[in-house]
């Protein structure tokens, strides 16, 4: 990789990470995976047209740090213009490009040009890449009368992909398939990705797009989407467009075929390394996620499990007898007890007693999902935190006000009766210690 491009990427990464441990942990996590299973990266034709250099630099950087993604590229705009030039109209049915048999040579050539352009660009960035334009997707014709030569993958032949990865090269795949009688067919890029994902069971699926993520109603990138807990709310929002619904359905289907640890990231070439190597990421991270459970009765809580979560998350354990007189109100917890908000009562006021998230569950959006559920239930809320706690940055964003009292910072939000604040703050700062060192 060219020295200045590497430097730019590293500087960008350094300026966004909390500490070196974060990047190192992700790097270790990704390196442990068999590299043909690390990541399937889908690149659209528009990104290749508009940002080939940035794209190549981002991929070559991954290779510099020892990772080997598998690239699948489309070529929508390139095909549109090549076909128009050859006198074909572009017609789509059900989102699929209708492909007359005599358009196949044009498509093969145009996708070949795109494919080689990507491989060359990666090489120019100092990376190593292998062109794999055909030979992977074993296909059958979907419906020749309706769509022409459009194929649907029925199998994936990984020989060429594995050979490239073994040789230290990034395989760059085009969306062309062959029928079992050797006819070349055009494959929709999303179908190609789905087939590859099914076979490879990758740890990450990455969509590199120009917008760099899914956008909310204000046009801001949605940072995380936990399908189990966020999907219904999102899909019923009035601002969500049809295209985004389809995208989310496709992603749900992809994730349903993968282990819970796998995730989808939608990001831009520039955001890729930050997305992969930091907790906060740059783009949209989508997981199948865990369901959120709300326990309204003390007896529904799995107390030993909750205690284990708290102990691991804080590195400290509840003091002796802590739970005995606990004024339990609600527990918001993910189904696998990886993130939880435990709410108790101080008279009639909700008090967030513990907000615990496992380190390994950070960056998944679980904490935010738990938090949102909790504040919806209890708009008026108080809590405290050690003034040295790094989570305070998040709390400062979420609170309406805070006061530092000795070692503690007391926070509140949604307090409609501000005259109560001083009293509550004093009382909360004076609550006894709840956690002690583990021994
Ligand atoms: N680096 C982690 C990953 O790639 C977390 C990314 C978080 N991304 C986000 N958009 N919130 O799995």
| Contact (Cβ atoms closer than 8 angstroms) between residue 184 and residue 104 | yes
- Residue 354's nearest CA partner among 424, 288, 301, 284 is 301
* pLDDT score for 241: 82
Nearest CA to ligand 1 atom 7: 281
Ligand 1 in reach of 263 Cβ (< 6 A): yes
Mutate to test the pocket of ligand 1, among 265, 273, 280 (most ligand atoms within 8 A of CB): 265
- 311, 438 contact by CB (below 8 A): yes
Q: Which residue CA neighbors atom 6 of ligand 1 most closely?
A: 281
Identify the band that residue 17 occupies on the pLDDT scale cut at 50, 70 and 90.
low
User: What is the 3-class SS of the chain, one letter each residue?
Assistant: CCHHHHHHHHHHHHHHCCCHHHHHHHHHHHHCCCHHHCEEEEECHHHHHHHHHHHHHHHHHHHHCCCCCEEEECCHHHHHHHHHHCCCCCCEECCEECECHHHHHHHHHHHHHHHHHHHHHHHHCCCCEEEECCCCEEEEECCHHHHECEEEEEEECCHHHHHHHHCCCEEEEECEEEECCCCEEEECHHHHHHHHHHHHCCCEEEEECCCCCCECCCCCECCEEEHHHHHHHHHCCCCCCHHHHHHHHHHHHHHHCCCCCCEEEEECCCCHHHHHHCCCCCCEEEECCCCEEEECCHHHCCHHHHHHHHHHHHCEEECCCCCCCCCEEEEEEECCCCEEEEEEEECCEEEEEEEEECHHHCCCCHHHHHHHHHHHHCCCEEEEEECCCCCHHHHHHHCCEEEEECCEEEEEECCCCHHHHHHHHHHHHCCCCCEEECC
Atom of ligand 1 nearest to the CA of 283: 10
Cβ of residue 29 lying under 6 Å from some atom of ligand 1: no
User: Which atom number of ligand 1 is nearest to the Cα of residue 365?
Assistant: 11
> CA-CA distance, 390 to 194, in Å (whole number)?
39
**Whether pTM exceeds 0.85:** no
Confidence of residue 95 (pLDDT cuts 50, 70, 90): confident
Q: Which of 101-110, 227-236, 411-420, 427-436 has the lowest mean pLDDT?
A: 227-236
Distance 382 CA to ligand 1 centre (A): 29
Q: Which structure tokens are listed for 174? A: 């085009």
Q: How far apart are CA 310 and CA 343, in angstroms?
A: 14
Domains plus CATH for the chain?
2-287 (3.40.1160.10), 292-429 (3.40.630.30)
Q: Give 328-383 pLDDT, tens digit per residue.
A: 999 999 998 999 999 999 999 999 999 999 987 776 778 888 999 999 999 999 99
Torsions phi, psi for 95 (to 5 deg): 80, 0
Q: Whose CA is nearest to atom 4 of ligand 1?
A: 276
Mean pLDDT of 288-296: 90
Cβ–ligand 1 distance for 96 under 6 Å, the answer: no
Q: Is the CB of 271 under 6 A from ligand 1?
A: no
- Of 281, 286, 361, best ligand 1 pocket probe by most atoms within 8 Å of the beta carbon: 281
Q: Find the farthest-apart pair of alpha carbons in the chain and give their distance in angstroms, rounded.
A: 81
Please say whether the beta carbons of 1 and 61 come within 8 A.
yes
Q: Which structure tokens are listed for 132?
A: 């794999």
The angle, 0 to 180 degrees and rounded to 10, between the axes of the packed helices 227-235 and 242-256 is 160
A 10 A CB-CB count for 349 gives 19
Look at ligand 1, atom 9, and give the residue with the nearest C-alpha. Answer: 281
pLDDT at 153 over 70: yes
Using the atom order of ligand 1, give the atom closest to the CA of residue 278: 1
Check residue 16 and give its pLDDT.
67
Best substitution site from 65, 216, 267, 279 to test ligand 1's pocket, by max atoms within 8 Å of Cβ?
A: 279
Give the pLDDT band (50/70/90) at residue 2. Answer: low
The response to whether residue 274 sits with its C-beta less than 6 Å from ligand 1 reads no
Q: 6 CA distance to ligand 1 centroid (A)?
A: 21
At residue 279, the pLDDT reads 86
Could you tell me the distance, in angstroms and rounded to a whole number, from the CA of residue 366 to the centre of ligand 1?
12
Cβ distance 111 to 175 under 8 Å? Answer: yes
Kindly report the protein residue whose alpha carbon is nearest to atom 8 of ligand 1.
Answer: 281
Mean pLDDT of the chain: 92
Q: What is the pLDDT of residue 218?
A: 92
Q: Which two tokens stand for residue 337?
A: 């007890």
180 alpha carbon – ligand 1 mean position (Å): 40
Measured CA to CA, the distance from residue 393 to residue 411 in angstroms comes to 12
Distance CA 410, CA 371 (A): 17
pLDDT of residue 245: 86
Angle at 103 between CA 117 and CA 244, to 5 degrees: 65
Distance 151 CA to ligand 1 centre (A): 33
Pocket lining: 223 vs ligand 1, CB cutoff 6 Å: yes
Q: What separation in Å is there between the alpha carbon of 222 and the centre of ligand 1?
A: 12
If one residue of 31, 211, 275 were mutated to test the ligand 1 pocket, choosing by the most ligand atoms within 8 A of its CB, it would be: 275
Say how many Å lie between the CA of residue 284 and the centre of ligand 1: 8
């Amino acid at each position: 990789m060219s020295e200045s491009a590497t430097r730019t990427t590293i500087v960008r990464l350094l300026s966004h990470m909390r500490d070196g441990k974060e990047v190192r942990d992700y790097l270790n996590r990704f390196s442990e995976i068999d590299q043909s299973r690390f990541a399937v990266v889908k690149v659209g034709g528009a990104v290749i047209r508009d940002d080939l250099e940035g794209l190549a630099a981002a991929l070559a950087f991954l290779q510099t740090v020892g990772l080997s993604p598998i690239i699948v590229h489309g070529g929508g705009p390139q095909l549109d213009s090549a076909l128009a030039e050859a006198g074909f109209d572009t017609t789509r049915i059900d989102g699929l490009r209708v492909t007359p048999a005599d358009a196949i040579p044009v498509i093969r050539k145009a996708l070949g040009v795109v494919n080689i352009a990507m491989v060359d660009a990666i090489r120019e960035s100092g990376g190593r890449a292998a062109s794999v334009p055909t030979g992977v997707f074993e296909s059958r014709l979907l419906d020749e009368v309706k769509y022409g030569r459009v194929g649907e993958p029925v199998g994936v032949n990984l020989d060429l992909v594995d050979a490239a990865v073994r040789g230290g090269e990034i395989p760059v795949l085009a969306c062309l398939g062959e029928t079992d009688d050797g006819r070349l067919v055009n494959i929709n890029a999303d179908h190609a990705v789905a087939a590859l994902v099914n076979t490879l069971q990758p740890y990450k699926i990455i969509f590199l797009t120009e917008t760099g993520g899914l956008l909310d109603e204000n046009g801001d990138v949605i940072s995380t989407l936990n399908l189990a807990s966020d999907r219904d709310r999102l899909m019923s929002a009035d601002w969500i467009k049809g295209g985004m619904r389809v995208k989310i359905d496709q992603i749900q289907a992809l994730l349903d075929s993968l282990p819970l640890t796998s995730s989808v990231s939608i990001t831009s070439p520039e955001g890729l390394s930050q997305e992969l190597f930091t907790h906060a990421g740059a783009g949209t991270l989508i997981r199948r996620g865990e369901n959120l459970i709300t326990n309204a009765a003390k007896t529904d809580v799995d107390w030993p499990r909750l205690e284990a979560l708290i102990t691991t998350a804080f590195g400290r354990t509840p003091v002796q007898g802590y739970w005995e007189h606990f004024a339990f109100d609600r527990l918001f917890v993910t189904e696998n007890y990886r993130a939880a908000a435990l709410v108790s009562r101080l008279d009639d006021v909700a008090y967030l007693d513990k907000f615990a998230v496992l380190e390994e569950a950070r960056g998944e959006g679980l904490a935010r999902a738990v938090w949102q559920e909790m504040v919806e239930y209890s708009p008026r809320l108080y809590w405290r935190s050690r003034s040295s706690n790094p989570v305070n940055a998040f709390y400062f964003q979420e609170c309406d006000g805070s006061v530092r009292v000795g070692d503690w910072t007391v926070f509140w939000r949604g307090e409609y009766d501000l005259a109560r604040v001083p009293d509550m703050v004093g009382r909360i700062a004076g609550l006894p210690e709840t956690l002690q060192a583990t021994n």
